[in-house]
Amino acid sequence: MPFHTQLIITILAGSLTFCLALGAAGALIQRSKHSLPPVPVFPGSGFPGVFTKFYTAFFLITFGMSAIAECMMPGEQQLNDVALPGLLLSSALQVLLYLPLIIVYFAQPSQRGEKTTLARKALWCIAGLVLLFIPAAVLQVSGFNDWLIQTTGCPAQQNVVEYMQHSSLSVKITLAFMAVIVAPITEECCFRGCLYNILRQYSSPFLAALASGILFGAIHTSLAQVVQLTIFGIMQCYAYEKARSLWLPIALHMLFNATSVTLLFLCPIPY
């Protein structure tokens, strides 16, 4: 097994363990101190918090193991296994697994005290999108990405990028739809709406953002992008705190992925 594969698996397993341990340790400490119970993940909805926590843990463990299995699969086999029916099934399965959390989250009462105008929302999205691209630019210009690739021998891009470059038009369109629509909604609902909220109940916002951000970066199984995606995840936690709603993180995630996909189509990366 290549060194870069071992490294990303270690980061993935370590971040998953960190998240589970942070939540469990925080719950035990809170219980031992007989402190007040945490605010529900979905306040005012009547949705059982214990189910949310077990559901989120189940999802993270299941897809964490799936990501580890993907890492251990040879790259050539990963590319050969890409087919339109499989992508559609994967997308549908992802939505169905997340659907209970998505419905409950967006059905709950708004947590914001004042309404935000459309112009202010647009300004937040533009400013947030610029800020999200700054870490990626710094890592690239500083030479960190090149150093990491040369040192570990890891691929320079995620598997999904290779899929888009070397597949049919129908597969490219499906992948673009998953990246721009499906992934932002489901990932933000899980990582910011649920995981971050759960960890925040039993620790500090900083530790919750750090733990969920590292896991978010690692679960994409790209060592070359893990630092950038970790920073992305942490900044999305801040966006969630700023808006006290998932609309801003989802909008930023959609815009970020849409920009990346558009640049990939206009300026394809040499294989």
Over residues 165-175, the pLDDT tens digits come to 777 777 788 88
248 residue type, one letter: L
Q: What is the mean pLDDT of residues 35-44?
A: 49
Residue 75: its pLDDT value, please?
A: 52
pTM for this one?
0.84
Vertex 251: Cα angle to 247 and 254 (nearest 5): 140
The segment with the largest mean pLDDT, out of 158-167, 171-180, 234-243, 258-267, is 234-243
Report the alpha-carbon distance of residue 26 to residue 34 in Å, rounded: 12
Interval 210-234: pLDDT, tens: 999 999 999 888 888 899 999 999 9
Angle between helices 118-141 and 247-266 (to 10 degrees): 50
Residue 252: its pLDDT value, please?
A: 92
- Most distant pair of Cα atoms in the chain: their distance: 59
Q: Residue 48: pLDDT band by 50, 70, 90 thresholds?
A: low
Please name which of 134, 98, 161 lies closest in space to residue 231, comparing C-alpha atoms. 134
